Amino acid sequence: MNVGRKKLKSDQMYLRLALFLAFLFQTTLLSAQSVADFAPLVNPATLGQHVEVLASDSIEGRETAEPGMQKAVSYVEKQFQSFGLKPPFNGSYRQEVPFVKWNVNSYDVGFGENMYEAGKGFYMMPPGHSNPLFVSGKAFWVCAIDTLPNTVNITKQSMVLLLTSHMKNITDDSLNNLINESVKKLSVSKVAAIVVERNFDGDREKRQIRRMNSGMLALVKQESSAQPPVCHISPSVYKDIRKKSKREKGSSSPIIHLKENFTIKINGYRTTCYNVGGILPGGDAGDQYILVTAHLDHLGKRDSVIYYGADDDGSGSAAVMNLAAAFAEAKRQSVVLKRSILFLLFTGEEKGLLGSTYFTENPPIPMEQTVANLNIDMIGRVDTVSRKDNRYVYIIGSDKMSKDLHQLSESTNNTCCQINLDYTYNDESHPMRLYYRSDHYSFVKKGVPAIFYFTGLHDDYHKPTDTADKLDYVKTASIAQLVFSTAWELANRPDRITVDQKR
């Protein structure tokens, strides 16, 4: 009996030892699996396959809320589902984004039958609801936009003329803030705001006119908080108004009267589109999220001409899908990162960051649990304006809110990729001000540090010639691998990065 017991104890000891060694061997294998084992899954061939689909004739340029965009959303949704990502939006991969839309021929601005041409004398900012609007009157309350009082006696006036022409050194963002604050003050009176643009032919106006010509979109707001219509006019139209008007005599109020009615007519309708996303769940800090993003929309069709948007932002969208597949494969091989990663493609970026704005105002996860945003917008071409080499990427925003994020970006690149990190567009004084012009900025405004990856402008930017055959997929893959490695480090470091600087 004693011998049998000794043998049983010996067998149990060997079994425990074998199980321990097997566990140790498995743990060693898993620990040996690193970012370098999975980064090569982000590759030129896969990126090219995605771009070929997104920039195909059948997708019709991915215009927000148009059939081609819906096809693109379905394609991305199927990809995320096939990777095994979790749906973030109440069991769905889609987040419905409600819009109100106006076509260029659905509103008019002018004196009686003398109408101004949209995009040449004026452009409109949508009021945020689809109710038909008609504003007409013969009197303006006139005010410099930076001196508009909190209470304005405009009960007899249907329009307020906000003068900005004297403000020569103000930035576009500061001017936008002033306009928004002024319009809020006018909302109680439900009058129209007429803004005189000092640089009507500038880049900001060109972008807005392009949006107007393709059909203007705005996020649907609550009707009670909807803003009055805002019409931006050129200095020449303002001069025309003054020629056809006279200032009220004997009155301290700065009112001008027109010889004939100035009218604004707007007719819109409601429509919808989608953000599309998928979650790779993390481990013991899985309630913290890294967001890897791009915008799926482009400019659609103009008559029968398709604006393919292979680089803008087919390249970024393809990268997000390829990164998602690579991270999903790591999970299939039992690699569990500390934090979760949300892969997300937005609608409405070309219309004014609308999809990302809606997401940050209606997030499926608490914004305070969002660690960082890595946003990819145009990484497929070489900047024909200022570069000839292709081993570079413009890094925008990495140092704006978090020293940790900037240092992690630099160290990750030194370890994995050794790409030339170019900070040309990160300069606050750069005239293009790109830090404010892609979807990452919607997160910055909510206190989330972000990096915007970009490779610059080229001759095919926003033209029908931005096609899939012109992309450098080897270059695109190298940048996408940098994003992959950066996301890996962010998701797996012991502590979340610190936000230590004001935006």
Spatial separation of the C-alpha atoms in residues 369 and 47, rounded to whole Å: 30
pLDDT at 7 exceeding the cut of 60: no
pLDDT at 219 exceeding the cut of 60: yes
pLDDT of res. 227: 67
The pTM for the full model equals 0.84
pLDDT tens readout for residues 90-127:
999 999 999 988 877 677 888 877 888 877 788 887 76
pLDDT tens readout for residues 233-252:
888 888 888 888 876 666 55
Q: 446: how many CB neighbours lie within 10 A of its CB?
A: 17
Spatial separation of the C-alpha atoms in residues 125 and 216, rounded to whole Å: 8
When the pLDDT of each residue in the chain is averaged and rounded to a whole number, the result is: 86
Coil, helix or strand for 439? Answer: coil
pLDDT tens readout for residues 278-308:
999 999 999 999 999 999 999 999 889 999 9
**Cα–Cα–Cα angle for 139, 144, 146, nearest 5°?**
140
DSSP lists the bridge partners of residue 253 as: none
Q: What percent of the chain has pLDDT over 90?
A: 55
Q: Which residue, among 240, 219, 203, has the nearest Cα to 117 in the 3D structure?
A: 240
Q: Which residue, among 70, 3, 432, has the nearest Cα to 275 in the 3D structure?
A: 70
Q: How confident is the model at residue 28 (pLDDT cuts 50, 70, 90)?
A: very low
- Report residue 203 as tokens: 């880049």
Who contacts 194 (Cβ-Cβ below 8 Å, separation ≥6)?
A: 140, 159, 160, 161, 162, 231, 233
Residues, the chain: 503
Q: Where are the domains of the chain?
A: 35-86+281-492, 101-269
C-alpha neighbours within 13 Å on the C-beta side of residue 463: 8
pLDDT tens readout for residues 402-459:
999 999 999 999 999 999 999 999 998 898 889 999 999 999 999 999 999 999 999 9
Q: 422: how many CB neighbours lie within 10 A of its CB?
A: 18
Q: How confident is the model at residue 173 (pLDDT cuts 50, 70, 90)?
A: low
What residue spans of 276-315 are helical by DSSP H? Answer: none
pLDDT of res. 133: 75
pLDDT of res. 131: 75
Q: How confident is the model at residue 71 (pLDDT cuts 50, 70, 90)?
A: very high
Whether the domain at 35-86+281-492 and the domain at 101-269 fall into the same CATH topology: no
DSSP one-letter string for 65-90: TSHHHHHHHHHHHHHHHHHTPBPTBT
pLDDT at 189 exceeding the cut of 80: no
Q: Position of tokens 């299939």?
A: 332
Q: How confident is the model at residue 326 (pLDDT cuts 50, 70, 90)?
A: very high
Hey, which CATH number is domain 101-269, 3.50.30, 3.40.50, 1.20.272, 3.90.920? 3.50.30
The dihedral built from the CA positions of residue 421, 424, 428 and 431, taken in this order, carries a sign that is: negative
CA dihedral 64→70→73→79, nearest 10 degrees, is -160
Q: What is the CATH number of domain 35-86+281-492?
A: 3.40.630.10
